[in-house]
């Protein structure tokens, strides 16, 4: 087959039989998108990868546990040949040609009747790129187009169907690159953005000039008054038929009061959607080189809000019980109350020598980190000038991290 210009067409495979011959890495890469089409897929192979085996819970996927045999393409609409046996590949493509079934070959595109494009999707727009056999180039062009669509540079903001309502978007721990793909797309389509102080600020600079940007930190003082006004704004703008993005740091539901906003929307009859974010409680220690769990060291980690000190009548935390845990404690919003928290844990039986670390401005260029032990972490933070916002990690995983650094394998800055 000559390298003539291909004719791109979107195949509607829902409910139609697709055959994949081979159960290795190529088949593994092709199957997820094929499954998204709703096709009835038969994988014919004596063996399959563990990942493909995990996909067999999908009722649209069936594994025929043997090699390919003549007649296996009966009733098929589309065939993917993905074995490392050239003779088998020739046999399959010959039967596909005879039955007039379009056939993709992973080993020799010149002998195929269809090529798989580098594809991706943004809202209702599907991108397919064929690079004349240069797969890296195809993928790079696809990614560039998708990025432009997500940022609105290719008219996504004006031409794509937007769904009015409120979107509670987690912006991640601070680095703008750590927001989810969906979160970034929604920012490109927003009419109104209500942003937290801890939301990734560089993302706000990318907003269209006609987007109404509301800084939640500048709303009426007092937690209750401020939250009430945020709820009012979200509901009001959504009822005007606008796409409203409530951009938060971390994840909307991890000490972010996101569900209070969801309830306010629901009570007002406003459509709302949560877009989870990477929570700083896990991401910030990870970027600092501290795993919150590690095999043989800890089997659990507990995330705790420290904005109310132990002994306060509004506190809902059983600090004495936490002191008995052997796993990792991750404290958020605890800088101001850390001395009394540490003292309370020690008084309740926690070893004062338990390793501890504090990371401020995690994932951002100004990230700072200090390590000490439970008894000394508050003083170490004060001496180093490490303040809020900071994540405090208490547990033996901190020593695991120090061992990594000693070995000269500390994570790269900004990684």
Q: Are 301 and 205 in contact (CB under 8 A)?
A: no
Residues in the chain: 415
Could you give phi then psi for residue 275, rounded to 5 degrees?
-120, 100
- Separation CA 359–CA 389 (nearest Å): 9
Strand partners, 245: 167, 193
Nearest to 300 by CA among 281, 280, 328: 328
* Helix (H) or strand (E) run with residue 248 in it: strand 243-248
Which of 196, 242, 248, 251 is an active site residue?
196
- Separation CA 97–CA 94 (nearest Å): 5
* Helix (H) or strand (E) run with residue 166 in it: strand 165-170
Q: Is 217 helix (H, G, I), strand (E, B) or coil?
A: helix
- Separation CA 326–CA 345 (nearest Å): 12
Q: Are 392 and 414 in contact (CB under 8 A)?
A: no
Residue with tokens 């903001």: 157
- With b for 16 or more beta-carbon neighbours within 10 A and e for fewer, the 96-118 pattern comes to beeeebbbbbbbebebbebbbbb
Which of 3, 210, 218, 314 is an active site residue?
218
Could you give phi then psi for residue 371, rounded to 5 degrees?
-125, 150
- Separation CA 291–CA 400 (nearest Å): 8
Nearest to 257 by CA among 218, 287, 294, 216: 216
End-to-end CA distance of the chain: 46
Q: Is 248 a catalytic residue?
A: no
Q: Is 350 a catalytic residue?
A: no
Cα distances (Å, whole numbers) of residue 52 to 39, 62, 63, 115: 16, 10, 9, 22
- Separation CA 235–CA 266 (nearest Å): 9
Active site residues: 196, 218
């Amino acid at each position: 087959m000559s390298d003539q210009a291909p004719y791109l067409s979107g195949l509607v495979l829902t409910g139609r039989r697709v055959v994949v011959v081979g159960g290795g890495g190529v088949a593994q890469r092709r199957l997820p998108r094929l499954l998204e089409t709703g096709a009835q897929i038969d994988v014919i192979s004596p063996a399959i990868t563990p990942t493909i085996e995990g996909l067999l819970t999908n009722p649209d996927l069936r594994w025929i546990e043997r090699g390919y045999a003549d007649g296996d393409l009966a009733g098929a609409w589309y065939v993917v040949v993905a074995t490392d046996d050239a003779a088998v590949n020739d046999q399959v493509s010959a039967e596909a040609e005879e039955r007039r079934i379009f056939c993709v070959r992973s080993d020799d595109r010149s002998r195929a009747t269809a090529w798989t494009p580098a594809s991706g999707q943004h809202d209702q727009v599907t991108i397919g790129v064929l690079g004349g056999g240069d797969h890296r180039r195809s993928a790079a062009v696809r990614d560039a187009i998708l990025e432009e669509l997500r940022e609105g540079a290719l008219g996504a903001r004006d031409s794509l169907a937007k769904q009015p309502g409120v979107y509670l978007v987690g912006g991640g721990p601070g680095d703008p690159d750590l927001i989810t793909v969906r979160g970034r797309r929604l920012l490109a389509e927003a009419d109104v953005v209500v942003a937290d102080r801890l939301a990734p600020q560089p993302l706000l600079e990318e907003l269209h000039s006609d987007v109404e940007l509301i800084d939640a930190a500048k709303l009426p003082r007092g937690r209750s008054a401020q939250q009430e006004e945020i709820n009012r704004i979200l509901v009001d703008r959504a009822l005007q038929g606008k796409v409203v993005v409530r951009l938060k740091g971390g994840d909307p539901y991890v000490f972010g009061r996101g569900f209070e906003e969801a309830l306010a929307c629901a009570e007002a009859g406003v459509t709302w959607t949560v877009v989870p974010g990477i929570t700083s409680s896990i991401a910030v220690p990870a970027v600092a080189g501290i795993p919150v769990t590690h095999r043989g060291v800890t089997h659990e980690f507990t995330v705790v809000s420290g904005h109310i000190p132990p002994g306060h009548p509004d506190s809902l935390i059983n600090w004495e019980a936490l002191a008995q845990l052997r796993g990792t404690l991750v404290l958020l919003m605890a800088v101001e109350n850390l001395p009394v928290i540490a003292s309370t844990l020690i008084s309740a039986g926690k070893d004062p020598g338990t390793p501890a670390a504090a990371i401020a401005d995690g994932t951002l260029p100004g990230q700072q980190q200090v390590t000490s032990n439970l008894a000394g972490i508050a003083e170490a933070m004060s001496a180093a000038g490490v303040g809020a916002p900071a994540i405090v990690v208490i547990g033996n995983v901190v020593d695991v991290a120090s061992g990594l650094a000693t070995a000269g394998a500390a994570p790269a800055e900004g990684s």
